[in-house]
């Protein structure tokens, strides 16, 4: 991979990670309800899921999903169901003042990040289609793949950390139950909407 190809990949990844999505929404919600430090546990889970998705794509699972309508549909339904369940749970949850809110454990937040990060089968298809555009088959593939994966995880991690820390600072002023309840309902609604859009999405031709 030459420098110009890498810089093009870098620009594409920057545009990708700054676009709001389920993982960013999750980090913002967890930072508000549990604090920025604990929100980073969910970010770590999401980054772990991204690494797994990239590895599966490299192993050919993305091609399998692209070729099999049944496999794609089953994974899509599972991912959409989880996002919808998470959204409904957030919307229905009680919202005491933030200082009195129950604090979730880091392990549970990490697992939540894993599920949110891995809930979209299109991520597999994206990486399966995206990575080959920047890999030079004339050179060893594994070092190039590792560079691309590390770059994505590093930039995505920085973005999620900035999101969690930014919301964590604002959270100090968001002590009213009404405000927390409103934010949880909005975030829950967006999760439910994302799950519905995923459920309605079609397998790429």
Measured distance CA(41)–CA(55) in Å, rounded: 21
pLDDT tens across 59-84, in order?
Answer: 766 566 666 777 667 767 876 787 78
> Is the distance from CB of 91 to CB of 188 less than 8 angstroms?
yes
pLDDT tens across 45-60, in order?
Answer: 999 998 888 887 777 6
**CA geometry: angle at 114 spanning 113 and 120, to 5°?**
100
**CA geometry: angle at 124 spanning 122 and 128, to 5°?**
115
Return the pLDDT at 121. Answer: 65
* pTM exceeding the 0.75 threshold for the entire prediction: no
Measured distance CA(76)–CA(25) in Å, rounded: 20
> Is the distance from CB of 171 to CB of 68 less than 8 angstroms?
no
Q: Would you say residue 33 has pLDDT above 70?
A: yes
Return the pLDDT at 47. Answer: 92
DSSP type of residue 138? T
Return the pLDDT at 13. Answer: 82
Residue 60, helix vs strand vs coil: coil
pLDDT tens across 134-158, in order?
Answer: 777 677 878 888 888 899 899 999 9
pLDDT band at 201; cut points 50, 70, 90: low
pLDDT band at 103; cut points 50, 70, 90: low
Q: Would you say residue 37 has pLDDT above 50?
A: yes
Return the pLDDT at 111. Answer: 92
Residues 6+ apart with CB under 8 A from 113: 23, 26, 41, 42, 43, 44, 45, 46, 47, 48, 49
Q: Would you say residue 35 has pLDDT above 80?
A: yes
Q: Would you say residue 41 has pLDDT above 80?
A: yes
Cα-Cα-Cα-Cα dihedral of 190, 194, 196, 201, to 10°?
160
Query: Phi/psi zone of residue 88: left (φ > 0), alpha (ψ -120 to 50 degrees), beta?
Result: alpha
> Is the distance from CB of 162 to CB of 60 less than 8 angstroms?
no
pLDDT band at 161; cut points 50, 70, 90: very high
pLDDT tens across 164-186, in order?
Answer: 888 877 766 655 556 667 767 77
Measured distance CA(73)–CA(198) in Å, rounded: 10
Return the pLDDT at 110. Answer: 94
Q: 21-30 burial, b if ≥16 CB within 10 A, otherwise e? A: bbbbbbbbbb
């Amino acid at each position: 991979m030459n420098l110009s190809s890498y810089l093009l990949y870098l620009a594409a990844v920057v545009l990708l990670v700054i676009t709001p999505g389920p993982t960013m929404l999750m980090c913002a919600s967890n930072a508000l309800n549990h604090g920025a430090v604990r929100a980073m546990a969910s970010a770590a889970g999401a980054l772990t899921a991204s690494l797994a998705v990239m590895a599966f794509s490299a192993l050919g699972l993305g091609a399998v999903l692209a070729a099999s309508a049944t496999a794609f549909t089953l994974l899509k339904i599972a991912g959409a169901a989880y996002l919808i369940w998470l959204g409904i749970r957030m919307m229905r949850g009680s919202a005491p003042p933030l200082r009195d809110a129950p604090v979730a454990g880091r392990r549970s937040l990490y697992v939540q990040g894993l599920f949110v990060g891995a809930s979209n089968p299109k991520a597999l298809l994206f990486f399966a289609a995206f990575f080959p555009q920047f890999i030079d088959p004339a050179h060893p593939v594994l070092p190039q793949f590792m560079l691309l994966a590390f770059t994505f995880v590093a930039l995505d991690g920085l973005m999620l950390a900035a999101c969690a820390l930014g919301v964590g600072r604002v959270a100090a002023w968001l002590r009213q139950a009404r405000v927390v309840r409103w934010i949880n309902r909005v975030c829950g609604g967006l999760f439910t909407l994302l799950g519905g859009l995923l459920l309605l999405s079609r397998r790429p031709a």
